[in-house]
């Protein structure tokens, strides 16, 4: 797999490679060129061009591909326009299930079109954000360039407020629904997940707090992206208290990394004793 996206757009080569992409009509259907999703249909301007080039989050998708097994249940929290939703759909297969959570109408439009274009039958889309409680909140929209946004609790966090370098949105634009995973599972509306991909722009700790029963009983493997240091360390504390072991996906330092994988740290678990997810995937260090 060629990681085109690893070539910086600040270099001459990076600029030359990206120049033709600007000529593509945004709504043009294209075919994903490489990776596990090779041959799937995609909308060129729905998100980053690296999606249909097949190199979007190169190491992340490679790691997820090596871990997720057929016949399992995958929760995609913060599905955006559906790259990981499509990937999980392929990985879990016909006997598996994927539940994609996304609150932003613009993203939902592309997400549902990508599923429809590819005749996907094993994905359920839930039009809501995930938090530690159910209800309503305000969504702060980053606009088309950002591809997403933040719910009010994430936007108002102390770390975001003090970090002027973050690309945070400036105003609340959209009322949205909130759901709590523990409640949905307890009520029988969702099965327990085997995997959870969490990328929710600052609300990661709230998601974990609202999933504690699931994490204590089912022990899903978690692929986690954190978006500020305050939330990152809160997530580490929550996962540690729940008996999980965390490892960074790229950076050597767990305290400062932005991408990590977490698995339940129980005695006799070969994925822990022999290195994170050793039986189901290469070690993190061998992948990156």
Q: For position 139, what pLDDT does the model report?
A: 80
- Helices 83-92 & 58-67, crossing angle to 10 degrees? 20
Q: Is the dihedral of CA 53, 55, 61, 66 positive or negative?
A: positive
Helix (H, G, I), strand (E, B) or coil at 75: strand
- Which CATH topology does 58-287 take? Rossmann fold (3.40.50)
pLDDT for position 257: 92
Cα angle, residue 155 at apex, residues 152 and 156 outer, rounded to 5°: 85
Residues of the chain under the 50 pLDDT cut: 12-15, 146, 155, 157-170, 272-288
Q: pTM of the prediction?
A: 0.82
Q: Comparing C-alpha atoms, which of 78, 149, 80 is closest to residue 108?
A: 80
Beta-bridge partners for 223: 197, 261
Residue 14 class from Cβ within 10 Å (0-12 exposed, 13-18 middle, 19+ buried)?
middle
Question: 3-class SS at 73?
Answer: strand
| pLDDT one-digit tens code per residue, 111-168 | 999 999 999 999 999 999 999 999 998 887 665 554 566 665 554 544 444 443 444 4
Q: How far apart are CA 70 and CA 85, in angstroms?
A: 14
Considering only CA atoms, which of 63, 68, 207, 50 is closest in space to residue 128?
207
DSSP character for 191? Answer: P
* Sign of torsion over alpha carbons 218, 219, 225, 231: positive
pLDDT at 144: 56
Is the CB of residue 134 less than 8 Å from the CB of residue 183?
yes
């Amino acid at each position: 797999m060629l990681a085109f996206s690893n070539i910086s757009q600040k270099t001459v080569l990076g600029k030359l490679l990206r120049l033709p992409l600007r000529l593509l009509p945004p709504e043009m259907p294209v075919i994903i060129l490489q990776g596990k999703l090779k041959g799937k249909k995609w909308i060129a301007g729905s998100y980053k061009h690296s999606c249909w080039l097949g190199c979007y989050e190169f190491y992340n998708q490679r790691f997820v591909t090596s871990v997720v097994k057929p016949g399992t249940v995958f929760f995609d929290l913060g599905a955006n326009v559906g790259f990981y939703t499509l990937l999980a759909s392929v990985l879990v297969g016909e006997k598996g299930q994927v539940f994609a959570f996304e609150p932003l109408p613009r993203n939902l439009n592309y997400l549902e079109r990508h599923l429809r274009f590819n005749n996907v039958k094993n994905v359920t889309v839930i039009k809501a954000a995930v938090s530690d409680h159910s209800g309503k909140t305000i969504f702060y929209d980053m606009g088309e360039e950002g591809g997403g946004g933040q719910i009010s609790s994430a936007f108002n966090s102390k770390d975001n407020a003090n970090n002027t370098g973050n690309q945070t949105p400036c105003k609340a634009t959209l009322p949205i629904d909130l759901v709590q995973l523990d409640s949905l599972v307890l009520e029988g509306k969702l099965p327990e997940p085997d995997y959870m991909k969490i990328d929710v722009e600052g609300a990661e700790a709230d998601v974990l707090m609202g999933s504690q029963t699931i994490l204590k009983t089912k022990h899903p493997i978690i692929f986690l992206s954190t978006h500020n240091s305050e939330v990152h360390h809160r997530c580490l504390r929550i996962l540690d208290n729940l008996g999980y072991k965390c490892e960074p996906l790229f950076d050597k330092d767990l305290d400062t990394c932005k991408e990590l994988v977490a698995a339940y740290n129980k005695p006799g678990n070969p994925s822990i004793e022999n290195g994170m997810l050793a039986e189901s995937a290469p070690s993190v260090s061998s992948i990156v």
